[in-house]
Amino acid sequence: MLDYLHGVYPAVKITLHAGELTEGLVAPETLRFHMRESVRVGHALRLGHGTGVMYEDDPLGLLRDLASRNVLVEVALTSSDLILGVRGSRHPLRTYLKFGVPVTLVSDDAGVSRTTLTLEYRKAVEEQGLDYRMLKRMARNSIAYSFADEATRARLAGALEAAFRAFEARRTGPAPSN
């Protein structure tokens, strides 16, 4: 259906939840294609979750494909932990980064997971070992890969850069670049 609708409305940008399952929740054979099919047949430009990427057929090929197509993966660390029990080194966030897949942090359903973006960024540092430069890149990705019009993206990116400068000016010692 999405493939058909994309043919009728090719300008509509698509984001899909995919890879939100993991072993033990469903039969292993059902984990092998969700993310790939969401991109190839569903024409998704953004994927929500992506926790099950390593269960897909040819996961390394899929990671390279996601990177080359610039498909953003929305990582919800708290949701993955609460719903799937996937946390720390079991979460594929570092793998996405290693393969150059664009990622950003999201809170998923804050009413269910009781989290905020601030807490998601904290988890990214404490549980995933990400540094400030990577956090900045992920924040920038949230705007660059958004479906907003160009003028809105430019305005938001400018505001984000101003916020970074203000934050870094309050730091003691030399401010990091990028």
> Taking the alpha carbons of 88, 90, 91, 93 in that order, is the dihedral positive or negative?
positive
Residue 79 CA to residue 51 CA, distance in Å, equals 10
Residues 6+ apart with CB under 8 A from 25: 84
Biggest alpha carbon–alpha carbon distance for the chain: 55
Assess whether 20 carries a catalytic annotation. yes
Catalytic residue among 20, 56, 74, 120: 20
Q: How many angstroms separate the CA atoms of 136 and 164, rounded?
A: 8
Active site residues: 20
